[in-house]
Every structure is written in structure tokens, then in C-alpha cells.
């Protein structure tokens, strides 16, 4: 359906920290957003983070790739506050790569200088951007969301020594608002469903399953426009028998919105 202002209704299910800004951005592009967090960021420190910290401090890493906007914040959370200025100062002597403009903006806020950024954010383009640099380089990848480090195998093929550390996890908020959202979905009033990561998909269907609506929700989605960022998110939707009709080449939320609006407009022209 569309609202009285003839705006397509889009479900945005990003974590709380991005939700308000994402909904406002969608509104500015002509959507009527329904915003509900279907994932929540949770701080974790894996067993290899200390090695990452040591390589940066000792100057043993050549390059650090930051695979998303929240990654630098959650990396710094693991470092004692008095040591953060030294860490950032040393980090700025390395070649720092941001995967997209959102990530560069987050780095800027923390005082980290971005040395490079691919024009397009996806697995192939990030790997291609790093290809000439990767040979015999020591590269650290800081990531959080599942699949955001999918380019690392290709960098190893290019001759890089790769280290990866995951600095946050995505968990299910598991509140009443998520349950209520599933009931809203079943009313059939949402034109577009925007999924930005595999965890969001799993959490969405977990809530539907608890209400005995997993198959019904899948049918609703397949009768709507489903948009997905990245191959991992698209594959996860397939596990629930849902086809993503919108999969932008550039793995950014802005491109997801643009592609969704085009798909919606094209559908309306055909009807």
C-alpha cells in the first residue's frame, strides 16, 4: 500500500543506533518508513583482538581495513582510555581503508585519518581496490556484522597476510515491539522490506516463528518488494524461501533505498 501522500511504506530494521537517522533519510527520499530494530549491537572481544592492538602499536601491520561505521567505536572500547590517544596516533601512521563513506565519517569523528576508500562497497570492489597493495602486505581487518569481511579470501589470494578481529556481535532485541511488528507485517500494509544483514533476517523470522507465522510472513514478503544488502543477506533470505528482488551492487543503505524506490516505481508503472 501507499500512504495518502502516495509514498511507499518501507520497513527499516537496522540496529537502534542507526534507526532514527535511517528513517529520516528514507523520509527525505520519498518513503514512509516503519522503523523497528531487528538487531542490536553487543560489544565482544575475540581472542585475537590483543594481537591486532599489538601489531598497530608496534607498527607491524601495514594496513587496517575498517569494515563498517561502528567498528572503530567498538575497537576503541576495548582499549583502556589513557592508551587510546597513543593507539589512534599510531593507527594514523598506517594505511587506513574505510569501506564506504559512512565508515570514513565514523573514523573522522574518532580522529582516524582515512588513507583510501573504494568507490563502490562490495566484496569484489573492495578486493580489487586492495589488489595492487596486498602483495606481501600485512593487513588487519576490523569487522562486526556477519559477511562484512567476505573480501578477505581474495586478499590472501593476492599475497597478503591477513588478520581479522570481530569487535561486536548482532543480537536479537527480543522485546514486545518486535513481536508487534510481525503482527503489523501480517496486515499487508508494507510495500518494501529492507534487510541490511543476515542477523536481521534470522531475528525477523525467529519472531515470526514464535507466533506460528513463519510461512505466512514469508508469503507476505514474497508478495512485496524485498531489498537486501550483500550476498550473505540474500542467501539468508533464500533459507526462509524469500527472494530478494532488490540487491544493489553498492552495499550501502543509500543505494538500497535508491534501488528500492526504482523497483517500486517500476512495479507501479506495470500495474
Average pLDDT over residues 38-45: 97
Q: Are 182 and 159 in contact (CB under 8 A)?
A: no
Q: If you average pLDDT over every residue of the chain, what do you get?
A: 95
Q: Are 13 and 48 within one domain? A: no
Q: Are 30 and 47 within one domain? A: no
* Short-list 263, 230, 228, CA closest to 243: 228
Q: For residue 3, is it within any domain?
A: no
Domain final residue, candidates 122, 138, 170: 170
Kindly report, residue by residue over 128-142, the tens digit of the pLDDT.
Answer: 999 999 999 999 999
pLDDT band for position 4 (cuts 50, 70, 90): very low
For residue 151, give its domain range: 43-170
Consecutive H or E run containing 193:
strand 192-195
Average pLDDT over residues 96-121: 97
Instruction: Say what the pTM is.
Output: 0.92
Measured distance CA(149)–CA(171) in Å, rounded = 18
Kindly report, residue by residue over 248-257, the tens digit of the pLDDT.
Answer: 999 999 999 9
pLDDT band for position 5 (cuts 50, 70, 90): low
Kindly report, residue by residue over 194-240, the tens digit of the pLDDT.
Answer: 999 999 999 999 999 999 999 999 999 999 999 999 999 999 999 99
| Positive/negative CA dihedral, 151, 103, 26, 12 | positive
Q: Are 120 and 82 within one domain? A: yes
Measured distance CA(209)–CA(203) in Å, rounded = 10
Q: Are 166 and 176 within one domain? A: no
Q: Are 35 and 47 within one domain? A: no
Q: Are 147 and 226 within one domain? A: no
Domain final residue, candidates 148, 170, 192: 170
Other C-beta atoms lying within 10 Å of the C-beta of residue 198: 24
What integer pLDDT is reported at residue 268 of this predicted model?
A: 83
* Short-list 172, 147, 166, CA closest to 39: 172
Q: Are 165 and 183 within one domain? A: no
pLDDT band for position 2 (cuts 50, 70, 90): low
Amino acid at each position: 500500500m501507499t500512504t495518502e501522500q502516495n509514498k511507499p511504506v518501507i520497513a527499516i530494521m537496522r540496529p537502534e543506533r542507526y534507526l532514527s537517522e535511517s528513517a529520516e533519510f528514507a523520509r527525505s527520499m520519498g518513503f514512509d518508513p516503519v522503523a523497528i530494530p531487528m538487531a542490536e549491537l553487543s560489544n565482544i572481544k575475540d581472542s585475537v583482538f590483543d594481537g591486532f592492538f599489538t601489531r598497530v602499536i608496534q607498527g607491524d601491520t601495514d594496513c587496517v581495513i575498517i569494515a563498517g561505521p561502528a567498528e572503530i567505536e567498538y575497537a576503541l572500547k576495548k582499549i583502556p582510555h589513557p592508551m587510546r590517544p597513543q593507539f589512534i596516533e599510531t593507527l594514523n601512521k598506517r594505511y587506513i581503508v574505510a569501506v564506504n563513506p559512512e565508515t570514513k565519517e565514523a573514523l573522522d569523528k574518532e580522529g582516524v585519518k582515512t588513507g583510501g576508500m573504494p568507490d563502490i562497497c562490495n566484496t569484489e570492489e573492495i578486493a580489487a581496490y586492495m589488489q595492487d597493495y596486498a602483495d606481501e602486505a600485512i593487513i588487519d581487518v576490523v569487522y562486526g556484522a556477519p559477511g562484512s569481511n567476505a573480501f578477505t579470501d581474495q586478499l590472501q589470494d593476492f599475497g597478503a597476510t591477513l588478520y581479522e578481529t570481530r569487535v561486536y556481535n548482532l543480537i536479537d532485541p527480543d522485546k514486545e515491539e518486535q513481536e508487534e511488528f510481525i503482527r503489523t507485517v501480517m496486515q499487508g500494509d508494507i510495500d518494501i522490506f529492507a534487510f541490511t544483514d543476515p542477523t536481521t533476517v534470522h531475528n525477523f523470522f525467529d519472531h515470526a516463528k514464535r507466533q506460528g507465522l513463519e510461512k505466512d510472513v514469508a508469503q507476505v514478503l514474497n508478495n512485496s518488494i524485498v531489498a537486501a544488502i550483500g550476498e550473505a543477506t540474500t542467501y539468508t533470505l533464500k533459507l526462509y524461501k524469500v527472494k530478494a528482488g532488490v540487491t544493489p551492487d553498492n552495499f550501502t543503505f543509500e543505494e538500497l533505498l535508491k534501488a528500492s524506490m526504482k523497483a517500486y516505481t517500476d512495479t507501479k508503472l506495470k500495474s
